[in-house]
Amino acid sequence: MSTTLPTGAKIINGVKTFIPLENNPEVHTHLATTLSIQSLTFHDIFTLSPPPQDLPHPINALIFLAAAPIYTRARSTLQSTLPKYTTTNETDPIWIPQTIGHACGLMAFLHCVLNLDDGRHLACGSELAKLREELVSLAPGDRARVVYEALFLEEAHMDAARGGSSGVPGPEEDNGFHFVGFVKGGDGRVWELNGGMPGPLERGVLGDGEDLVSEAGLRLTVGDFMEAAKEVEGGGYGGLGISLVGLVGV
């Protein structure tokens, strides 16, 4: 049984559920504009080998989308072994558990823009900037509640989701894909930020001259998924199983 909300989102089995986002620069730019995000551009990354050279740099945040078989192969074992992240640490990024159905795209987007360059791309005084200020000191469960209840995020997500270039599943339909965000912090640490995992995952450290699409950066971020994709039919890069968008501060 479901109830349709004014935004078009639905409550399905007691859980607020969205239309999934597409992973393309146009959709992310639309969402960023709605949320008053400034001086940030989004770029399709069409090839990984060799690492792309024709894009602006540094690319210190990535929004990654993988088909469910690829994601499951790459992360199911790891997910079952990680401890639940229950506290906050000022040296860790802002991580938020996902409690909204079909919102993994929004969560990846939020994890990137809230953490990239310590959130400096959020317009001062905007709703998202105020949300970030509130989230910093909260425990993960409380962060999830605040995001779940944020009507402005629901409205912005649903508006952006309808602007995609292909047909997207409705809230009640199976998604079949999962988003993950990656961010390089100011200290060089690389974080995998996924609201479907038990917590943030530190992947390693990059040097000052290395961004997330350097050879080392790609290995720390999407490397596991690319290896998993080799074992999934149609999962290779450039197929339908994987897509990647880079974020660049300007």
CA-based torsion, 27, 28, 30, 34: positive or negative: positive
Backbone angles phi, psi at 53, to 5 degrees: -110, -15
Of the candidates 171, 197, 195, the residue with the CA atom closest to the CA atom of residue 77: 197
Tell whether the model's pLDDT for residue 84 goes beyond 90: yes
Digit-coded pLDDT (tens) for 32-62: 999 999 999 999 998 888 778 889 999 999 9
Angle at 117 between CA 208 and CA 248, to 5 degrees: 80
- Report the Cα–Cα distance between both ends of the chain, in Å, rounded: 46
- The two structure tokens encoding residue 207: 């040097």
The CA distance from 76 to 104, in Å, is 16
- The two structure tokens encoding residue 201: 């995952």
- Per DSSP, helices labelled H in 60-103 are 68-81
**Residue that has been written with the tokens 């210190």 in this structure:** 60
Sheet of strand 189-193, all strands in order from the earlier edge strand to the far edge = 40-44, 242-249, 61-67, 177-184, 189-193, 201-205
Cβ atoms of 12 and 175 within 8 Å: the answer is: no
Average pLDDT over residues 232-242: 65
pLDDT confidence of residue 79: 86
Hey, what domains does the chain have and what are their CATH numbers?
22-151+173-249 (3.40.532.10)
Percentage of the chain surpassing pLDDT 70? 95
Of the candidates 219, 35, 187, 16, the residue with the CA atom closest to the CA atom of residue 114: 35
> pTM for this structure?
0.95
Digit-coded pLDDT (tens) for 170-228: 788 778 899 999 999 999 999 999 999 999 999 999 999 999 999 999 999 999 999 99
Tell whether the model's pLDDT for residue 238 goes beyond 70: no
pLDDT confidence of residue 236: 56
pLDDT confidence of residue 196: 96
**Partners of residue 180 on adjacent β-strands:** 64
pLDDT confidence of residue 172: 82
**Residue that has been written with the tokens 């079909």 in this structure:** 102
Digit-coded pLDDT (tens) for 92-104: 999 999 999 999 9
What does the DSSP assignment read for 67-135? EHHHHHHHHHHHHHHSPP--S--TTSPP-----SBT-HHHHHHHHHHHHGGGGTTBPTTSHHHHHHHHH
- The two structure tokens encoding residue 55: 């894009």
Strand (E) or helix (H) holding 218: helix 215-221
The CA distance from 191 to 93, in Å, is 8
Strand (E) or helix (H) holding 17: strand 15-17
Tell whether the model's pLDDT for residue 11 goes beyond 70: yes
